[in-house]
Chain A
Amino acid sequence: MTTAPVKEATHDERAAGCGQDELLEIALGPHHPSTHGVFRMDVVLDGERVVKLKPVFGYLHRNHEKIAESASYLASMPYTDRLDYICSLTNNWAYALAVEKLAGLQVPERAEYIRVITAELTRLVNHTATIGFLTQEMGASGTPLMYAFREREKILDLFESLTGSRMMCNYMRFGGCRVELPAGWLEQTKKVVEEFPRFLDEYEQLLTGNEIFMARAQGVGILKKDLAIDAGVTGPMLRASGVNYDIRKVDKYGIYDRFDFKIPLGEHGDVYDRYMVRMLEMRESLKILHQALRDLPQGPLMDPKAKIRGFRPKPGEAYGRIEAPKGELGFYLISDGSPNPYRYRVRPPSLINLTVLEDMCRGYSIADTIVIFGTVDIVLGEVDR
């Protein structure tokens, strides 16, 4: 933790009020044990209470958008893995979707199913990791995070056998997917999906009714519905505030209209609701996975019209978005007819969800601030790009 210069009280002030109204300005981060990476909050404290909080970004600004302008469309695909590096497959999908809109490509049915399967597995990975980190930040160091990572490893094994990489999958292509499922992959996935509820039950037994957890989570960091909409908050955070808005249902991108699943909604918009929405969302993801694994058809993996080399979309622009585990992940592309995009923009859910951080944290103590921040669920690679 680096400490910004503390506001020096003059001798007279100290003598008069004994520092009662003295405000303390602290820079939390960019290296701080409980933040998610290199994120900094400039906090003004009155005693232990947060009076003002200004997030400071840019410590992981890796110029993704600038680099993409000088690379071909396909060459940006591996960079999208590194945006939100916990869920690379949903990032792939969002980018592929935007380019497919730009170039008018159709995705074969089998590829759509595989996309849904990988995306929902990614959602499981993301939510387990988020809740693991959240409990770590509440002081439950070790156990819940260990359990979460144990489950995560099982899914990463699936990703590795499918795509060749644990984290940076680089699996989707414009108009389909890169490779066919390896032998035995479906059976293994079914096994993981079938065993997953056991882990969720175990986790819920540990946390959902846990008195300490409830005391730390309930009524803390409340986000009102109107503010959430105004500030563009999306994903589980928005739904925990009671807004029924899930892009899987609204846009019905891919083949999400074929599956039977529910959208869990919160009531209070506090830390506990955000935790519960994620837990319930994992169970809904498992439902989708069961259906997708059952119905997976045979067929080609790529649109025959899609060109890997010499891919030049017509001049124009397109905005494509999906429901990533963290919220609305969108890609906005402007093509000028050349092999490189003229403008390549990522709409990062993590960054925009942080708009309301100050409103949620004001009046709470530093320890609560860290917990509230944990439920926003950000990944710095996406915040700063």
Chain B
Amino acid sequence: MLEEIKARLDAAVPGCRSEMILNGSPSGQHSLLLDSAHAVEAATFLRDHAELRFDYCSNVTGVDWLEAQHSPGYLEVVYHLYSMEKKRGPLVLRLRTENRTDKVHLPSLTPVWRSAEFQEREIFDLYGIIFDGHPDLRRILMWDEFEDHPMRKDYVEPDDYEYEPTAHDDILAKAKQHAMGKSQEP
């Protein structure tokens, strides 16, 4: 089914370079990687095509891929689409940024599916992906003055391990680190 959708998409949207990403798990939910230049056009096609009618964007996820997994690392957005009219799905779409530092712009699909509005804001907040064309791109979960993107894999949380009643494993290591830091201060 996914090959068919890909063929239709490539025929309908000129210049669109979509790529199948295979999924190794028993779920068999393979996905379609879109290039960001044609993403909005391709999404509109998927939504409006009379036979496909993916009118419902269920889930939008941000993923942080470090250099360790893919070189160079990048940030990814995954869209899960369903069709309420045809009762079909999921169709999984992926968009990728060029890297994790400065080229983190992606086109927003909120103009196509409004259900992406809060979810894309959340990804902007927690991963720092900038969605071009989003109507209201602000932080959603953290406060406005916050500067970090805490869901990134390399985020370091603030050191508030003063009191750990049942510290073990890496929490114990962090608490020890805190105690060391304190004892060196004065």
Contacts and interface: CB of A to CB of B under 8 A. Distances in A.
A and B are partners in one complex rather than unrelated chains = yes
Interface of A: 57-58, 61, 63, 65-66, 70, 101-104, 227, 229-233, 243, 245, 250, 313-321, 328, 330, 332, 334-336, 342-343, 345, 347, 351-352, 354-355, 384
B88 to A, nearest CB: 9
Interface in B143-186: 143, 150-151, 170
Contacts of B113: 230, 232
A313 B27 CA distance: 11
Interface in B2-27: 23-27
B37 interface: no
B29 interface: yes
Contacts of A101: 25-27, 29
Nearest to A56: B140
Contact of B29 (A58, A319, A343): A319
A231 B114 contact: yes
B92 interface: yes
A69 to B, nearest CB: 8
9 contacts: A57-B141, A70-B170, A227-B114, A229-B84, A230-B55, A230-B115, A231-B117, A318-B27, A352-B119
Most central of A243, A321, A352 by chain B CB within 10 Å:
A352
A227 B59 CA distance: 17
B54 to A, nearest CB: 11
Given A229-B55, A319-B59, A58 B142 contact: yes
Contacts of A332: 59, 61, 78, 80
Given A58-B141, A230-B55, A328-B58, A63 B150 contact: yes
Contacts of B69: 336
Contact of A316 (B27, B57, B87, B141): B27
B118 A229 contact: no
Shortest 3 CB-CB contacts between residues of A and residues of B: A232-B115, A316-B25, A104-B26
Interface string B115-145: 1111100000000000000000001111100
Contacts of A103: 25-26
B107 interface: no
Nearest to B22: A316
